[in-house]
Structure 1
Amino acid sequence: MNARNGEVNGFLRTDGKRLVNGVGHEVLLRGVGFGSWLLPEGYMWRLPEAGDRPRRMERMIEQLIGSVKANEFWESYYEAHSAEDDIRQIAAEGFNSVRLPLNARFLIEEEEPLQLKEHHLRLLDRMIGWCREYKLYVILDLHGAPGGQTGTNIDDSEHDLPELFIKESHRKASIALWGALAERYKDEWIIAGYDLLNEPLPDWFSQYNGLVMPLYKEMTEAIRRVDSKHMIILEGAHWATDWSIFDEKFDDNLMLQFHKYWNNPDQESIQKFLDKRDEWDVPIFMGEGGENNIDWYVGAFGMYDDLNISWNFWTWKKMDTDNSPCSIIKPAGWHKLVDFLEGGEPPTAAEAEDILWEYLHNMRFENCEYHPEVVHALLRRPPLRYPAIFYGYKGRGISYKIQHEAKVNIGFREGDGTDIRFIASPRTEPNFQHGGGEPWAEDDRLCLQANAGDWFQYEVNVPASVQDRDHRCYQVQIRMSATDLPSRIAVELNGEFVGEIDVVTNSWATYLLRAKIEIPSGQHAIGIKVMSHTVRLDYLELISETI
């Protein structure tokens, strides 16, 4: 699972449902997105609606410190927010790709005829060069198209309308932009593909849905006139989740993209995308998902791996967070900017400049708070806690085995037939909504009820990096309870017996396996098997120990 194993090698292309690199080896993209770099987003700055998109942020900063200082701030921002140190860390963690969201306003000087900002393109060139050096495939993502494709803050919409589909000049500019980017990067192998439009047309603008595929085809024609090598990536409508717009496979190097937030991490929730993968015989990509808690990440991103779906986590860095790898420390006076946007008195120009330049300092990777636990959850890397309900997704007989079908269907992992129930909760369905970085409250968490003979596998990936060489011995800790006493479970590694635990109470308790487990680098499976009676499993935790 490390990019240094040679998988980032040559032009990436599709081969049926697979992605293969330049030497024909299969690749599953596992990466992070650079949200808020070239298209800043207000929620990542902890700003209210009045500062929710680039043009509003720009207006605020110009009002506070003047146009000259504002220009200086923005050029420094683009230099500092996402830089070589970020790329170096992403590669060192074992990711193999990044998704770069582009704002057309960042790139375009004039739409008719198209004139690009060369100094901004050089910033993009430099980032691509770093990715080539550190072996990270790059996905170019038109996140904010000319005029906006969503009519919301996420594409820097000016009038809250999807003007890309309303004004002919914007449509032509978007086609010309992709043609220009393809001309510039046609020979750049580190670019994995072109993500033509991010999340076009939410449901309330669905009257324009019929215009998306024709535009995709025109964009692709402009690209193919100069570039026959790079993959084309298509997103569905309504936050990339509505794939009914995909009526025709019009290119032989296509990948389809969906996004996933705040809902069940189970196969049922993405079955329509798996079905389209089979129908079109193309690879699929979960191109944007995250903004939840670490428990959810373990389930969702583990599912993508098990079902051979490439993925990209949103997002690498934002302010004051614990559910992204990098947290920008909020400047001490940041509330003054928030108060101003909410109608309060502005800070003085000197105060505002101090606050903003502190922000520039804090956003550099070396000054961020780093959360390795987020990366561990995404890559199923110990030390890690696995909610018991997120056993593997490779199917019955591989990831799990059950003796009795569920008596109650609660709308989660229905196809597995397992008996999953809430812990002391009046709810009647799972709650996988946005949860910040905190674990589920105990009365919201699901447990796994398992009977004698049932077993479940939990994938674990141990890196081969030098710094981890002395940290491959793990303690196994399991939180569980029994319905009948005494109950017993066995713990296995790759199907081999490691040890047993007697469950001696019908109240929730945490048990530590006496035998420590030494796990070599690579991909493995921790198994839990119920030996007698019925056990309720809350979570399994692998805790590192130096040996």
Structure 2
Amino acid sequence: MTFQGFVHADRGRLVDGTGDALSWQGIGLGNWLLAEGYMWLLWGGPQSARGIEAMIESLVGPDRAAEFWAGFRDVFVTEADLAAIATAGFDHVRLPINSRILVDDHGTRLESGWALIDRLVEWCRRHQLWIVLDLHGAPGGQTGTEIDDSPNGRPELFTEPRYRDLTVRLWTMIAEQYADEPVIAGYDLLNEPLPGDYQHQFADELVALYRDLTAAIRTVDRNHLIIYEGSNWATNVNSFTEVWDPNSMIAFHKYWSPPDRPSIADFLAARERLGLPLYLGESGENTLEWLQTTFQLAADHGIGWNFWPWKKLDTETSPCSVVPPDGWAAITGWAAGKAPQPDPDTAWATLTKLLDRMRYERCDQRTEVINAVLRRVPLRLPATGFHFRNGASTAAPVPLPSFRSDDSITVRSAAGEPDFSYRRGKVAPELTVLLDAGDWVEYEVNLAEPIRVAVTVDLADDDRPELSLDGLPLEPDGNSWRATESAPAGRHRLRLTARRDGTRLTTLNVSGDHRPD
């Protein structure tokens, strides 16, 4: 990658400053500049940043609360986090911003917040990562829910002129500050605006605001990519009927839905209609099987993406898991109204320990999450996670109506219609691919370094299919198949071909070794 010139849109593609096409794969720095309750395990407690701030102040008083938040900004995202993100293979980060970090209610700059972004820019420059600036919490709130830190739980950005004016002013300030900074890749104007009925009630107001924000940014910055999210949690792109700026991109978010082509048909149609790049600006919070298939879906359709999020407390679904200290459960229990309030000194001791646990070096690393997202070995592949372009061939397919219905392959669900929602500990839907003799499926696997690939296949019956990597046969070895030579680092195509009718495929486990060829 290069910081020569600026990331921009070019004839429906996203390209870097030299004109080379980009296949973005990034990760979101959620919780750092806008706290979200679920990331702190505050189930039944405060969910908005304001509510969490009030909780901390109630526990330890205003002086210690201020000290806690200053410490939090210094440890939750550090240069070590950015180095790890770059080493893992990501090329950009998306930075969710609370407007209250950068300006007060009168629009006065808060220099401490700008300094945090400037520091992140320098870290990303050193580690070769672009940054997408995302206004996650606009003045007044853009969603009417607690995720945007709105003061009154309503989308007052669209009803109160003072908040609208402040949002235009804030984006002008951001664009003016970073107009000549190539590490900044783009401006994501509003995160998940207007969910539910609000998407219809304020549809015209959203379009008008996007137009005004675009005009204001372009008065001070002609360089940077502008990113527009649809309404209803960034899933409704019907408002995008024309191109407001040629250097722009349409973003959508995807959660708890089938990871298949029909689920993104509206977004693909918008890309075709507008001739603009498409960006999966948020997706995650699900099983490893869902992650593998969803990000394969994006890659196969030329959609840059950003995984959500990098780090949170005690998680199975983020790469970086903060281990809560003893005493944190007492605080969350009190916050949920189920336990007495800890005394200030005890609470402060717990909060101090929590800050130490938030450092990257103290976190548990969930490498299996990164491997699923990047299809990187070692990897557990669901049978239904095959390529979305030329990924299967079957003579007599009977597709599953509710999942991958447009793929020519037979899929069966063990428990009726598959459920792609998520809760902690949930097992992925049990899906089986049925193949007859000569039918095949093909998967992407990525190697971080040269290795000899080995594959173990979970089959419903005692079948013995043929496996190949990039067209070269893998040798059977008991219940596994192994390559006879090392494959180079990079992307490869793993094919499984059935040798008999009725082959039932559930999972492929891909590993590797460094034994001499």
Quick check: 1:33–1:314 contact (8 Å CA) kept in 2?
yes
Query: Residue 222 of structure 1 aligns to which amino acid in structure 2?
Result: A
- 201-210 vs 510-519, which deviates more? 510-519
Map 1:395-406 onto structure 2 (within 5 A): 398-406=390-398
CA distance 1:416–1:491, change in 2 (3 Å): same
Check 1:8–1:401 CA distance in 2 against 1; reply closer, same or farther (3 A cut): farther
Aligned to 1:362: 357
Alignment of 1:496 with 2:491, yes or no, is no
Which residue identity does 2:242 align to in structure 1?
E
**What is the aligned partner in structure 2 of residue 319 from structure 1?**
313
In structure 1, distance between residues paired with 2:13 and 2:3: 15
Select 1:98's aligned residue among 84, 89, 93: 93
C-alpha distance in 1 between matches for 2:179 and 2:378: 42
Structure-2 separation of matches of 1:430 and 1:127: 41
1:149 & 1:416 partners in 2: Cα distance?
38
Change (3 A) 1:50 1:533: closer
Call closer, same or farther: CA 1:535–1:341 in 2, change over 3 Å: same
Indicate if the aligned counterparts of 1:291 and 1:436 stay in contact, CA closer than 8 A: no
| Counterpart AA for 1:197 | L
Deviation at 1:488, TM superposition (A): 3.7
SS of alignment partner, residue 491 of structure 1: strand
1:507 corresponds to which residue?
Answer: none
Aligned to 1:284: 278
Extract unaligned runs of 5+ from structure 2: none
| CA distance, structure 2, for counterparts of residue 305 and residue 438 of structure 1 | 26
Give the counterpart letter for 2:320 in structure 1.
C
Aligned ranges 1:173-192 → 2 under 5 Å: 173-192=166-185
Q: Note the residue ranges of structure 1 that are not aligned, 5 or more in a row.
A: 1-5, 502-509
State how far apart, in whole Å, the 2-side matches of 1:248 and 1:281 are.
10
Distance 2:483 2:149 in 1: 55
Deviations, residues 319-376 of structure 1 (Å, cap 9, x unaligned): 0012110000012101221222233421111001011111110001001001111111
CA shift in 2, pair 1:299/1:9, >3 Å: farther
Letter in 2 for 1:97: H
One of 407, 410, 430 as aligned partner of 1:416? 407
Contact residue 321 and residue 437 of structure 1 kept, 8 A: no
The answer to whether the 8 A contact 1:288-1:311 is kept is yes
Output the aligned Cα RMSD. 1.6
The secondary structure found in structure 1 opposite 2:479 is strand
Q: How many residues align?
A: 513
- In structure 1, distance between residues paired with 2:117 and 2:79: 12
The aligned amino acid for 1:314 is: W
Spell out, residue by residue over 1:98-143, the C-alpha distance to the aligned partner (whole angstroms, 9 max, x if none). 00000011111233xx211012101110001111111111000000
- Taking a change above 3 Å as real, the CA distance of residues 163 and 259 of structure 1, as seen in their structure-2 partners, is same
The structure 2 residue matched to 1:171, chosen from 159, 164, 179, is 164
Amino acid at match of 2:163: H
In 2: Cα distance, 1:499 partner to 1:105 partner: 60
Contact 2:45 2:332 in 1 (8 A): no
Give the whole-Å Cα distance in 2 for the aligned partners of 1:417 and 1:494. 22
Q: CA deviation at 1:276?
A: 0.8
Q: Does 2:506 match 1:512?
A: no
Distance 1:78 1:521 in 2: 37
- Give the Cα separation in 2 of the matches to 1:26 and 1:458: 23
| From 70, 74, 88, the counterpart of 1:75 | 70
Shift of 1:49: 4.0
Structure 1 partner of 2:61: 66
Confirm or deny: 8 A CA contact 1:489 1:500 kept in the other structure: no
Q: 1:27 aligns with which of 15, 22, 26?
A: 22
8 Å Cα contact 1:42/1:49 also seen in 2: no
Distance in 1 between residues matched to 2:484 and 2:445, nearest whole Å: 15
Secondary structure at the aligned position of 1:28 is classed as: coil
Distance (Å, rounded) in 2 between the aligned partners of 1:196 and 1:303: 25
Give the percent of matched residue pairs that are identical in Structure 1 and Structure 2: 39
When normalised by structure 1's length, the TM-score is: 0.91
